[in-house]
Amino acid sequence: MNNSFLKNLFVWFIIFASLMGAYQILSEGKKEYNDLKYSEFLNVVDAGQVLQVEIKGNEISGEFLMPAGDGKPEYFKTFGPVGDELLIKLSSKKINFNFISDQESGLLGFLINWGPMIFLILIMVFFFRQIQAGGKGAMSFGKSKARMLNKEDNKKNFGDVAGIDEAKDEVQEIVDFLKNPKKFTNLGGRIPKGILLVGSPGTGKTLLAKAIAGEALVPFFIISGSDFVEMFVGVGASRVRDLFAQDKKNAPCIVFVDELDAVGRHRGAGLGGGHDEREQTLNQLLVEMDGFESTEGIIVMAATNRPDVLDPALLRPGRFDRQVVVPKPDVKGREEILKVHTRKTPLHKDVELKVVARSTPGFSGADIENLVNEAALRAARSDKTTLDMDDFEFAKDKVVMGSERKSMVVSDHERKVTAYHEAGHALVAKLTPGTDPVHKVTIIPRGMALGLTMQLPTEDKYMLSKDYLLKSIAVLLAGRAAEEIIYNERTTGAGNDLERATEMSRKMVTEWGMSEKVGPIRLAQKEGAVFLGKDMSSRTNHSEATSIEIDSEIKEIIVNQYNYSLKLLKENEKMLHNLANLLLETESVNAKQLDALINADNPKTPPEDETPSDSSGSGSNNDSGWSGLQSDPTAALKSIEKA
């Protein structure tokens, strides 16, 4: 007889005892009848001690006064013939009597008598099964919600992962160690206890973990960080203990915690105090990963896109020994990801995945998967049997710029203003050497924009020069400049352009040290969030005079680039009209059409000394002012200018 059987037997005994107690409580309100012989009943009637009588077939019941009682009525029950003589006798004694039908359903009577008892039994059985549900029931709050994956549940492997070769090589080492540990231990090495996958959303962190589960011939437990914490105090820590208890029984094994920042945030943050439920969960996780008890054979993997908010104790060696960066793919990686997602997709012979990869800079793996899916949906709507380049181009525009708002009604004047606005962006970008090539110009409303000018870089950029940034600001301000030249008015359509140009200029001055007046000093302070244990308000470590100088430099950069765009467009005003008219006619202009228009008009391009530069003293127009590896090209510059 095992412990499990004894435990179940004890639980059922407790349930039975509870039900009997409940039944006794429910039965206390029932009437207690004194059984009388029929002759005794007749004597009591003759003595005038019967108060009332109920007759149901041959069953006679009612209330009477005991001869030696305390004067309180009691209940009696007897069986006998009910005839005219009895009824006459009851009437003569002025005893109230009534008849009760004996046709009442036996089932109804059973339910009335035993219904509460049956209901209690069903409730107790339900809760007992919930307790036995292995961590998924309502009563098992402290059980871990981790799910163990096997080959049948997961079909992913390393062949499904592309574009992140370096990250894949690092986690491949984990699988090799689990398959052949002596290869490492013979040299005195040990496998890392924890591996943290860090990267932007959609780069493939969870996919990489699924691939490891498919490759490793060991149990693989997967759980989300939010699954630990509940509204009940102590549940999170209990689930952590239960998780590692399961892992020790199945070692060697891999545990994957998705979205670790949900439970691993910096301790001492916010207003919860030291007894905050999330902090207790984190404390238990720290102890289980590297405490007094050994966790040999358990490899903890986790994924997050917010490593900056994690508690330092989680990131020390012995817990998460290794951080694997999962970056956005480069052009070669994007091509490999496209090949993975189009393996089961019929492609037309004109499709060149290399061209598609080159035209999608900054796309993550999830973005590329969405791109292929949108292209397939568009081909299906068109009743095609294969995907062609038009489908990929349509999908790219939809993913990058949003869906076309064909039902939107735009007045003729606003449509013309939009056409000149986008023509200004496109011409300055095309006529200024060193800017990203213009891929498409459209005045079809997409998303929140009335028109869009899309630029695609020829290669992935990881550092941005000062010259490139100044030219990018000039392109952003060209839409407002075109509106002023043609209509001598300023609209709200340039609001997003001005916001991005100002942000870029501020970063040049305060973060990237690209102003000679201010100097190569970082003056910007990151604002800490109160829930991360930082100050709520931003701090400044420079004087008011420096702030005035910063504002002056930012304004001078923007004004200079705006004047450059204004001058360039005035010198090529004929081309501005031609491009705007072409947009009004066709609604969209691609790179080839734009090149043909420019070559036909033979524009006046600016000489080298007239290209945008910080002529106000903020620096020269050469490439010496690099922002360094700490710059963020994605945040600093985006490839779409909105009307």
Known catalytic residues are 422
Which pairing describes strands 298-304 and 194-198: parallel, antiparallel, or unpaired?
parallel
Chain centroid to CA 486: how far? 46
What's the Rg (C-alpha) of the chain? 40
- CA–CA dist 416, 424 (Å, integer): 12
The H-or-E segment that residue 509 falls in is helix 495-510
Which of 508, 439, 496 lies closest to 470, judged by CA? Answer: 508
Quote the CA–CA distance of 355 and 311 in Å, as a whole number.
Answer: 43
With b for 16 or more beta-carbon neighbours within 10 A and e for fewer, the 311-344 pattern comes to bebbeeeebbbbebebbbbebebbbbbbebbbee
Q: Which of the 8 DSSP states describes residue 608?
A: G
Q: CA 378 to CA 470: how far, in whole Å? A: 39
Helix 412-431 crosses helix 591-601 at what angle (to 10 degrees)? 80
User: How many CA atoms lie within 13 Å of 248's alpha carbon, on the beta-carbon side?
Assistant: 11
Residues 61 and 35: their CA atoms lie apart, in Å, by 9
The amino acid at residue 480 is R
Q: Do the Cβ atoms of 627 and 512 come closer than 8 Å?
A: yes
The reply to whether omega before 520 is within 30° of 0 (cis) is no
Residue 430 in contact with residue 438, Cβ under 8 Å? yes
Q: Is 518 exposed, middle or buried (0-12, 13-18, 19+ CB in 10 A)?
A: buried
Q: Are 280 and 295 in contact (CB under 8 A)?
A: no
3-state helix/strand/coil string of 368-428:
HHHHHHHHHHHHHHCCCCCECHHHHHHHHHHHHHCCECCCCCCCHHHHHHHHHHHHHHHHH
Residue 385, C-beta contacts closer than 8 angstroms, at least 6 positions apart: 346
Largest distance between two CA atoms of the chain? 133
In the block, which residue shows the tokens 């480069």? 330
Q: How far apart are CA 368 and CA 338, in angstroms?
A: 7
Burial tier of 2 (Cβ tally within 10 Å: 0-12, 13-18, 19+): exposed
